[in-house]
Amino acid sequence: MEEFHYEGDELYCEGVPLREIAESRGTPVYVYSHGTLERRYRELDEAFSGLDHMVCYAVKANGNLAVLRALAALGAGVDIVSAGELYRAVRAGIDPKRIVFAGVGKTEKELSLGLGERILMFNVESDSELERLDYCARRHGKTARVALRVNPAVDPESHPHIATGLAESKFGIPLDEALRLARRVREEFRHVELLGVHQHIGSQITKISPYVESVEKTAGLVRELRDSGFDIRYFNIGGGLGICYRDESPPNPRELVDALRPALESTGATILCEMGRYIAGEAGVLLTRVLYRKQSGEKTFLVADAGMNDLLRPSLYDAYHEVKPLRESTATVHADLVGPVCESGDYLARDRDLPDAAEGEVLAVMSAGAYGFAMASNYNSRPRPAEVMVRSDRWALVREREHYPDLVKGELIPAFL
Ligand code: LLP
């Protein structure tokens, strides 16, 4: 992670010592590097050079307005999965012509809002959704542009909870149903225009082969649809490119796209991808202060002020995030780094050699830029942390820490109490 590095013995984000941010803003706090976002976006964009393409960013990974604005300024499109994400994207200045709307359960309201913004296209996942979208478009006097999301039934060989392209998963339509659905669009749905095919097989993919296999299968469908007279102009290959949390060695975008290139070229379509983690994952760290050191029999616990409500990935997926001291040191302690939440599954790192941090010391939980704040909650009535963005030697708060009144916002005590 180039933007997060030691200078002297201090951990920096670009030109800013992380200690300065922790002291000024308190902990827990997420810190994002503009430089990493930009570098990662450009790496993807350049990997597709020679192909008509658009790099969309999956808002679900990290929807902070400043993150979206930074990517909008680079020319990114976005992949959204709710009207809430649409709201964020539009507020951040993403061009609606660069927005694609995925998700297996879009409501009528969400479809209408997407139509109202004239987004590029909806990725449609069922017959019923097509019917609903046709109805909404007719009511609004519009035509909905759609891509069919297919399920290529390929195992991404990542964590089972984040595999979406297995045959039994709820996502997409089986490949061999696509032609039937395409014909229905042509024959029955006057207010829907079919112009794309979409797939997404899963997340944190670290091997090229499942990606190639699925893209080859789906590219075959794109060619078949074109041969049957459908004007398929877009092939959206999904997101999912993995990053290195520990010792994984995922392909870089260039390697991935080069392996996919023959299949992509064979379609003659504009290629879309929708990466979230690859762009945002390594762009963020979570700073947390060690409140207490605690010895329980053989076990040592570092009790931190951030927990599963701030960063859920370790508890939910047993995910590994590296932990670094703000002041470089080789001293380690074999311990669990746990949060204050009342669940024994509340940990950030378990059974590991961790920095030998004293009480009061701040640690950086690395690679927390994707699915970090985005999955944070108020569990245990804990205000969600602040977020900061660094750009070279400047930094700014991009989301205030929540306050106690935020916790009860919208709650009402009825008169009968
Ligand atoms: N497109 C679609 C249709 C998706 O469902 C997803 C992620 C993406 C794109 C972006 O995938 P990425 O490039 O970020 O891998 N919470 C989990 C990850 C869930 C991903 C869900 N879908 C985690 O923390 O690992």
- The rounded Å distance from CA 124 to ligand 1 centre is 17
Helices 253-267, 34-47: axis angle to 10 degrees equals 40
Q: Annotated binding residues for pyridoxal 5'-phosphate, as ranges?
A: 240, 274-277, 371
pLDDT of residue 166: 66
- The rounded Å distance from CA 31 to ligand 1 centre is 21
Helix (H) / strand (E) element for 190: namely none
CB distance 245 to ligand 1 below 6 Å = no
CATH number of 4-32+281-407: 2.40.37.10
Q: Residue 303, SS3?
A: strand
Mark 279-294 as b/e (b = at least 16 C-beta within 10 Å): bbbbbbbbbbbbeebe
Which residue's CA is the nearest one to ligand 1's atom 6? 239
Closest ligand 1 atom, CA of 281? 14
Question: Considering 13, 56, 136, 342, which one is annotated as catalytic?
Answer: 342
Which residue's CA is the nearest one to ligand 1's atom 16? 371
Please report, as a single letter, which amino acid is at residue 121: M
Helix (H) / strand (E) element for 67: namely helix 65-74
CB distance 277 to ligand 1 below 6 Å = yes
Question: CA 138, CA 50: separation in Å to the nearest integer?
Answer: 38
Contacts of residue 23, defined as CB under 8 A and 6 or more positions apart, other chains included, come to none
CATH number of 63-275: 3.20.20.10
Closest ligand 1 atom, CA of 159? 25
CB distance 58 to ligand 1 below 6 Å = yes
Structure tokens at 342: 């009342």
Q: Annotated binding residues for substrate, as ranges?
A: 277, 313, 317, 343, 371
Which residue's CA is the nearest one to ligand 1's atom 24? 371
pLDDT of residue 157: 85
Q: Annotated binding residues, as ranges?
A: 240, 274-277, 313, 317, 343, 371
Question: CA 354, CA 35: separation in Å to the nearest integer?
Answer: 27
Measure the CA angle with vertex 238, ends 105 and 33; round to 5°.
100
CB distance 278 to ligand 1 below 6 Å = yes
Structure tokens at 98: 């660069």
Contacts of residue 203, defined as CB under 8 A and 6 or more positions apart, other chains included, come to 156, 158, 159, 162, 163, 164, 239, 240, 242, 276, 277
417 residues of the chain, pLDDT tens digit each: 589 999 999 999 999 999 999 999 999 999 999 999 999 999 999 999 999 999 999 999 999 999 999 999 999 999 999 999 999 999 999 999 999 999 999 999 999 999 999 999 999 999 999 999 999 999 999 999 999 999 999 999 876 666 666 667 888 999 999 999 999 999 999 999 999 999 999 999 999 999 999 999 999 999 999 999 999 999 999 999 999 999 999 999 999 999 999 999 999 999 999 999 999 999 999 999 999 999 999 999 999 999 999 999 999 999 999 999 999 999 999 999 999 999 999 999 999 999 999 999 999 999 999 999 999 999 999 999 999 999 999 999 999 999 999 999 999 999 999
Closest ligand 1 atom, CA of 275? 13
Mark 158-172 as b/e (b = at least 16 C-beta within 10 Å): beeeebbbbeeeebb
Domain regions of the chain by residue span: 4-32+281-407, 63-275
- The rounded Å distance from CA 114 to ligand 1 centre is 21
Cβ count within 10 A of residue 263: 21
Question: CA 271, CA 264: separation in Å to the nearest integer?
Answer: 7
- Nearest CA-CA partner of 365 in 307, 295, 415: 307
pLDDT of residue 163: 63
Is 274 within 8 Å of 230 (Cβ atoms)? Answer: no
Helices 108-116, 127-139: axis angle to 10 degrees equals 50
Contacts of residue 37, defined as CB under 8 A and 6 or more positions apart, other chains included, come to 67, 70, 71, 279, 280, 283
pLDDT of residue 162: 61
Q: 242 — phi, psi (to 5°)?
A: -80, 165
- The rounded Å distance from CA 175 to ligand 1 centre is 21
CB distance 198 to ligand 1 below 6 Å = no
CB distance 371 to ligand 1 below 6 Å = yes
Q: Which of 71, 203, 241 to mutate to test the pocket of ligand 1 (most atoms within 8 A of CB)?
A: 203
- The rounded Å distance from CA 24 to ligand 1 centre is 33
Closest ligand 1 atom, CA of 313? 24
- Asked if 244 is an active-site residue, the reply is no
Closest ligand 1 atom, CA of 198? 3
Quote the ipTM score: 0.99
pLDDT of residue 164: 66
Cβ count within 10 A of residue 331: 8
- The rounded Å distance from CA 229 to ligand 1 centre is 32
Question: CA 179, CA 185: separation in Å to the nearest integer?
Answer: 10
pTM of the model: 0.97
Is 48 within 8 Å of 257 (Cβ atoms)? Answer: yes
- The rounded Å distance from CA 351 to ligand 1 centre is 27
CB distance 162 to ligand 1 below 6 Å = yes
CB distance 313 to ligand 1 below 6 Å = yes
